[in-house]
Amino acid sequence: MGCVKSKEDKGPTQKYRPDPTNPTPGSHMGLYGPDPTQMGQSPALKGPTNNYNSRTTGLTPFGGSSSVITPFGGAASSSFSTVAVSNPFPGAVTGGVTFFVALYDYEARTSDDLSFKKGDRFQIINNTEGDWWEARSINTGQKGYIPSNYVAPADSIQAEEWYFGKMGRKDAERLLLVPGNQRGTFLARESETTKGAYSLSIRDWDEMKGDNVKHYKIRKLDNGGYYITTRAQFDTLQKLVKHYTVEVFKFSFVEKHCQCFLLHSHFFFLFLGTWNGTTKVAIKTLKPGTMSPEAFLQEAQIMKKLRHDKLVPLYAVVSEEPIYIVTEYMGKGSLLDFLKEGEGKYLKLPQLVDMAAQIADGMAFIERMNYIHRDLRAANILVGDNLVCKIADFGLARLIEDNEYTARQGAKFPIKWTAPEAALYGRFTIKSDVWSFGILLTELVTKGRVPYPGMVNREVLEQVERGYRMPCPQGCPESLHEMMRLCWKKEPDERPTFEYIQSFLEDYFTATEPQYQPGDNL
């Protein structure tokens, strides 16, 4: 196993080459650089830094509950050290494998070595001279020698950051329980008891055991496939992991004791449930026959990608019918109901502006991520304790690649909140969300009044196209109405960014309205 300390050159003399199993520590190795080729080590690795409301998606602990869901070290972590294998393709050929990928950083120690970084790709020119292979870097085009146990075939499991090779159960537990790794962090390894099988080890937590690690056997089929449960079989280990990364909580739905019917819309029901009998959650389920399961699950896919403390977090998905999307429960309900029937009726302008600033904060994040919401209104903002506001209902949200999204013909949108270019021509941008935010501001200051009172949708479209804009609501400062009017500029490019709106609202009572005095309504 491993590499020898030297290799023979083609010439008559031998050239000393350092032992590749004692690598130069690289930046990917965290606080120090242990030998990455030694199986079963438990290096002090920096764990994922995701917080509860900004999780990276990944595999879930089966039978567990909401958690940070990450491959070990994080989905995009550079502080990840994995386990190398010795030359997997000794001899004259590399088994037909064309491209290899670097598992670690390596600093050249002789003039004919290649320096490289973890993730660099190589084409192998000659691997007949032992454990040092002649290779060409795809990244730089340079040729030189590389230690064979620092690379793996690009499509092999050895190249995956979550694969740890021959690691024992105890070492896996020790590594996953390192402080900083969060619930849901996982790794895959060779099974200690069954040849050809693998084990999946996942960090979990419960009230009885506290932090613990659960282990699941990945079995191999006679035809070469893999499965944890026979109901779901996969050609490769990578496909299995990817499947459970995408299908979050496919196996283990929370204990759904539906205690309370919260809401129903044209497409779904929303219930209050409990998680493990303790944590309240909101459970959304699709109404039969109203839309395809794929379209319903697209909302969950969007929520997995958008993690921010002003966006309602996704906890779990059950992707087999009946389909459920499980999210944080916000005890005060929708902002619209809160303003019309709850404590919101008695709020003054400072609290309302703060709530608007929170919403702008969440939308500024969506803006930075190149997404659009397309259904921004008070009914889709949820309120929790201490007037915390979070954006919800991502059923219409989309990723935009060319700054614009064109809706399919016949798609339905809330006309009174939708920008004219979107309502009339289906052209959605983040600036059409800005328009909607201006309408939402009117909902806040009027305590939930329907926009354009007395007008039907067709009349709204006609009047807005002619230049009509809602007047300043009673009691609303003119400076805040001016922000609304900026949001309603006819040309989308003339509307402010959410980053600007957030800054304006956060500083509103120091920079814009320092002399504010509460009135009867606001």
Cα Dmax for the chain: 97
Mean pLDDT of 103-131: 87
pLDDT at 4: 25
| pLDDT tens profile 496-514 | 999 999 999 999 999 888 8
Residue 23 has pLDDT above 60, yes or no: no
pLDDT at 122: 92
How many beta carbons lie within 10 A of that of residue 467, not counting itself? Answer: 7
Residue 401 has pLDDT above 50, yes or no: yes
pLDDT at 419: 96
Mean pLDDT of 442-466: 96
- Same-domain check for residues 9 and 142: yes
Lowest mean per-residue pLDDT among 178-192, 194-208, 299-313, 315-329: 315-329
pLDDT at 254: 39
pLDDT at 479: 96
> How many Å apart are CA 8 and CA 48, to the nearest integer?
43
- Same-domain check for residues 496 and 416: yes
> How many Å apart are CA 244 and CA 240, to the nearest integer?
6
Which residue range(s) make up the domain with 302? 260-328
Residue 118 has pLDDT above 50, yes or no: yes
Query: Averaging pLDDT over each range in 147-151, 265-269, 430-434, which range is the top one?
Result: 430-434
Question: pLDDT-based confidence at 28, cuts 50/70/90?
Answer: very low
Within a domain: residue 54? no
Lowest mean per-residue pLDDT among 89-93, 251-255, 332-336, 431-435: 251-255
> How many Å apart are CA 237 and CA 210, to the nearest integer?
30
Mean pLDDT of 308-321: 83
Share of the chain above pLDDT 70, in %: 72
- Gyration radius (Cα) of the chain, Å: 28
CB 442 within 8 A of CB 469: no
Mean pLDDT of 41-57: 29
Within a domain: residue 180? no
Within a domain: residue 379? yes
- Same-domain check for residues 273 and 394: no
> What is the arrangement of strands in the sheet containing 226-227, beginning at the earlier edge strand?
186-190, 198-206, 210-220, 226-227, 233-234
Give me the catalytic one of 375, 385, 433, 507: 375
pLDDT at 223: 80
- Same-domain check for residues 308 and 434: no
The CATH number linked to 373 is: 1.10.510.10
Within a domain: residue 380? yes
Query: Averaging pLDDT over each range in 128-132, 184-188, 341-345, 433-437, which range is the top one?
Result: 433-437
> How many Å apart are CA 417 and CA 521, to the nearest integer?
24
More confident residue, 205 or 337: 337
Residue 385 has pLDDT above 50, yes or no: yes
| pLDDT tens profile 251-288 | 333 343 444 445 445 556 778 877 766 778 888 887 66
> How many Å apart are CA 66 and CA 206, to the nearest integer?
11
- Same-domain check for residues 289 and 340: no
Residue 92 has pLDDT above 90, yes or no: no
More confident residue, 4 or 495: 495
- Same-domain check for residues 385 and 405: yes
Single out the residue in 105, 138, 160 at which a domain terminates. 160
The CATH number linked to 105 is: 2.30.30.40
CB 394 within 8 A of CB 304: no
Within 290-392, residue ranges assigned H as helices are: 293-305, 335-341, 349-368
Residue 206 is a catalytic residue: no
- Same-domain check for residues 294 and 271: yes
pLDDT at 432: 96
Within 232-369, residue ranges assigned H as helices are: 237-246, 293-305, 335-341, 349-368
| pLDDT tens profile 63-73 | 333 333 344 43
Within a domain: residue 240? no
pLDDT at 505: 97
Closest C-alpha to 153, from 103, 115, 228: 103
Within a domain: residue 295? yes
Share of the chain above pLDDT 90, in %: 33
- Same-domain check for residues 324 and 339: no
CB 81 within 8 A of CB 34: yes
H or E element at residue 227: strand 226-227
Question: pLDDT-based confidence at 483, cuts 50/70/90?
Answer: very high
Single out the residue in 125, 160, 195 at which a domain terminates. 160
Within a domain: residue 218? no
Within a domain: residue 233? no
pLDDT at 264: 46
Closest C-alpha to 223, from 215, 214, 234: 234
- Same-domain check for residues 387 and 275: no
- Same-domain check for residues 358 and 506: yes
- Identify the residue whose tokens are 């920096």: 46
Residue 91 has pLDDT above 80, yes or no: no
Lowest mean per-residue pLDDT among 131-145, 297-311, 376-390: 297-311
User: Structurally, how many domains does the chain consist of?
Assistant: 3
How many beta carbons lie within 10 A of that of residue 139, not counting itself? Answer: 13
- Same-domain check for residues 303 and 380: no
Single out the residue in 305, 328, 351 at which a domain terminates. 328
Q: How many residues belong to the chain?
A: 522
57-60: list long-range contacts, CB under 8 Å, 24+ apart. Answer: 57/245, 57/246, 57/248, 57/304, 57/305, 58/184, 58/186, 58/245, 59/162, 59/184, 59/186, 59/200, 59/202, 59/241, 59/244, 59/245, 60/184, 60/202, 60/244, 60/248, 60/249, 60/251, 60/252, 60/316
pLDDT at 276: 64
Residue 353 has pLDDT above 90, yes or no: yes
Confidence (pTM): 0.54
- Same-domain check for residues 385 and 269: no
Lowest mean per-residue pLDDT among 33-47, 156-170, 371-385, 437-451: 33-47
The mean predicted confidence, pLDDT, of the chain is 75
The CATH number linked to 270 is: 3.30.200.20
